[in-house]
Structure 1
Amino acid sequence: MTTCNGIFLKTEQKERLFEQAKQHIHSFQQRADTYDETGNFPFENFEDLRKQQWLSFTVPKEYGGEGATLSEFVLVQETIAQGDAATALCLGWHNGTLMQLRDTRKWRQETFADFCHQVSYKQILVNSAATEPNSGSPARGGKPQTTATYNNGKWYINGTKSFVSLAPALDYAIVTATIEETGEVGEFLLSLDQEGVYREETWNPMSMRATRSDHLILEGVTATDEAFVAKKGQQPNVPQGWLLHIPACYLGIAIAARNDAVQFAETYQPASLNTPIKDVEDVRRRIAEMDVELMKARHMMYHIAERWDEDEQIREQLAPELATVKTVATNAAVDVVDRAMRIVGAQGLLKSQPFQRYYRDVRAGLHNPPGDDLTYRQLAKRAFGEV
């Protein structure tokens, strides 16, 4: 069986990273059903990732990290997702957050350097906590109802955050809050061990169950001036290349489904046939169609990631392309998994088979940012010269 890798390993560095990430696929696959069934966070997987220093993958080299490029980042994300998608998506939020801070340089240099050293040498976990139950996704302009009030040299923060992936394992969260005195939105780096910060176990979805994207409750949390790390709107509106970790993750699911479907076709022989179903023309066509969808999406994703890496001057122009990659890749991934299910047939619905998990998990990508409607709106504006 030929898998869908190799063509994008253009450098020795990428070959090395791919081989290192590939080592996790089997063990993560072995645990994936258990984590999916229980809805528990994959602590064991993250312990493996810590040992291999993957939690500092996007930290700048001068601060002890790997300093990964965007194309290297998506390669690792796509590979790890072939083992366990929930683990990959969580790792992507962590490393993507650090990459975004690295690229935007919106924190004070001393603050960023100190935090990066903690990540590199202690392998701590961080994620953004921006979405809220009532205000919705920040990608759609939702303003935080979480508030921050300044009094006597301290910040007092109150509110509730939702969809906080990695919640049970997080060491820090970057919390957005509306500053009551000015109406501006600030970002605060909070330790999840400090008083007034609570994790509420609310996550019980059909997809990506092990991400544990629970609620974060903030009740009278006090923070120093050092915790106030940035203010929304102060930095240029640079496109968020790091969000390509999302389509990379869902393409990883699709590759796993494709590979398993090929293996199934090579070995499954019903009593009605003299050979395995790989010799049935309709099965061969469906496998070829899966490869076509994967080739289109992956070539686009890696091409845009490499353009981002090669020329910082054009990054501001890549927003439509980055959004389009997400739309193309996640829809292609859904299509590939659907085709894999048709090859396997009713056996794909059995809980003893991974296909039903692929089928559920891949659909979560349609609801990660940016939504397809926002992408099409952006492309239409560009087409009519309205941007």
Structure 2
Amino acid sequence: MSKQLFIHTEEQREWLKKLETLEESFKANARKIDEESIFPFENFKKLREIGYTKITLPKQYGGAGLSVYDAVLLHETLSSYCGSTGLAASWTIQNVGEIFENRYWPVEKIDWFAEQVNNGATVNRAVSEFAMGSPVRGGKPGTTAVRDGEFYLINGRKNYTSGAPDLDYFLVSAWIEDDNHLGFFLVPKTAKGVLVETTWDVMSMRGTGSDDLVLNHVRVERSNLVEIPSYSTGFKLNGWLLLIPATYLGIAQAARDYAVQFAKNHSPNSIQGTIAQLPNVQTLIGEMDLALTNARFTIYGVAQLYNDATKKAEIVNEINIAKHVVTNTAIDVVDKAMRLVGAKSLQRSNPLQRYYRDVRASLHNPPMDDLTIKRLAETAIL
């Protein structure tokens, strides 16, 4: 089924046209970004130029005011060009969307922050720590914040801070020792004591710059304590997290497209015509398209529910389900694409091997599969 069926508005079409202007350059640089594990600064510069980093900032502040559904639609396309760029950019888009939808922060702080985002600032939550494991599992952060007059002193180390080389602000989860509860502090990259330590050396999503954030006696004003969450962990599930599976859906579509083009053009001398005419190859193509269609109905269906104010409150596990279905589908689609192409898919010059490595990272983005299954079971037996 064509993705065109999920495009509903002229605004969505216009944004997709803007993204298409980046397709050639992003695809051309994707291999180098992966092989050299370098952050795609140039890609982010181009995203800022077209206003993409502020698509979820409300229109009243100068943004595009796009919904979860809109953002998922656009981000799937962007991620098909370069997975690392897609995942790194998704965090700013989803965090800005969540912050301004829920308006956790005091008015004066959120107005000031809107101006920063409107001028191209990027942000991500710095939550993960090796000692606590995944933040969705409820561990207490080792990062601490202690009152110092009209300031807080923050100390700690955060891991997997995606986009760190290019971020302007970090939303740092820390344990406020004076009050014995969790808080999120808005920390500018320029603050004294903030260090991004290059530690990202993995096989997947190598260009995301998911480095360590080191906070050594970082002094911030008390007003920089912008969120005191009602939940006990450093991570809240919300509709904007659909940008994560949208990223991997885009990568899977890129793998499918490559495999189909290969099948239509590859003509070994053992057969007449191309391998696209072979029943086993057609089966793989059909299975890929079936899986992608199923994944799209899932993610866009949930996004549409989230956009509907009358349905949003009824969402319980659907966001988790969408992430599970879409990311596991992405892994399966890339695997089928590689089976179709054969041993050539393992060549380092072939993008399929990069897609294969990148989609595996989805298993480690929240929420994890076992947690989704557990919550479904708990919901059923309550």
TM over 0.5: yes
Paired residues in the alignment total 380
Render the CA deviation track for 1:222-250: whole Å, top value 9, x for unaligned: 01112111112189x98500000011000
How does 1:232-311 map onto structure 2 within 5 Å?
232-233=229-230, 239-311=237-309
Render the CA deviation track for 1:194-220: whole Å, top value 9, x for unaligned: 110011111000000000100000001
RMSD over aligned Cα, in angstroms? 1.4
Q: Is the 8 A contact 1:238 1:315 kept in 2?
A: no
The Cα shift of 1:17 comes to 2.0
Tell me the residue number matched to 1:92. 90
CA distance in 1, matches of 2:69, 2:16: 12
Q: 1:244 to 1:298 in 2, by over 3 A?
A: same
Aligned residue identity for 2:117: V
Matched, 1:355 2:352: yes
The Cα shift of 1:60 comes to 0.7
SS, match of residue 209 in structure 1: coil
The Cα shift of 1:24 comes to 2.0
In percent, how many aligned pairs have the same letter? 41
Tell me the residue number matched to 1:335. 332
Q: Is the 8 A contact 1:239 1:319 kept in 2?
A: no
Matched, 1:184 2:178: no
The Cα shift of 1:128 comes to 0.6
Tell me the residue number matched to 1:54. 52
Moved more, 277-286 or 19-28: 19-28
Q: Is the 8 A contact 1:350 1:356 kept in 2?
A: yes
CA distance in 2, matches of 1:180, 1:365: 34
The Cα shift of 1:193 comes to 1.2
Q: Is the 8 A contact 1:25 1:79 kept in 2?
A: no
The Cα shift of 1:116 comes to 1.0
Pick aligned residue for 1:26 from 24, 27, 48 = 24
CA distance in 2, matches of 1:350, 1:219: 43
Q: Is the 8 A contact 2:53 2:89 kept in 1?
A: yes
Matched, 1:379 2:376: yes
Q: Is the 8 A contact 2:136 2:236 kept in 1?
A: no
The Cα shift of 1:94 comes to 0.7
CA distance in 1, matches of 2:20, 2:284: 26
What are structure 1's unaligned runs of at least 5 residues? Answer: none
The Cα shift of 1:371 comes to 0.5
Pick aligned residue for 1:112 from 110, 131, 136 = 110
How does 1:219-230 map onto structure 2 within 5 Å?
219-230=216-227
Q: Could you tell me the TM-score, scaled by structure 2's length? A: 0.97
Tell me the residue number matched to 1:153. 150
Tell me the residue number matched to 1:132. 129
The Cα shift of 1:23 comes to 2.6
Tell me the residue number matched to 1:370. 367
Pick aligned residue for 2:214 from 207, 217, 220 = 217
What are structure 2's unaligned runs of at least 5 residues? Answer: none
The Cα shift of 1:364 comes to 0.4
The Cα shift of 1:20 comes to 2.0
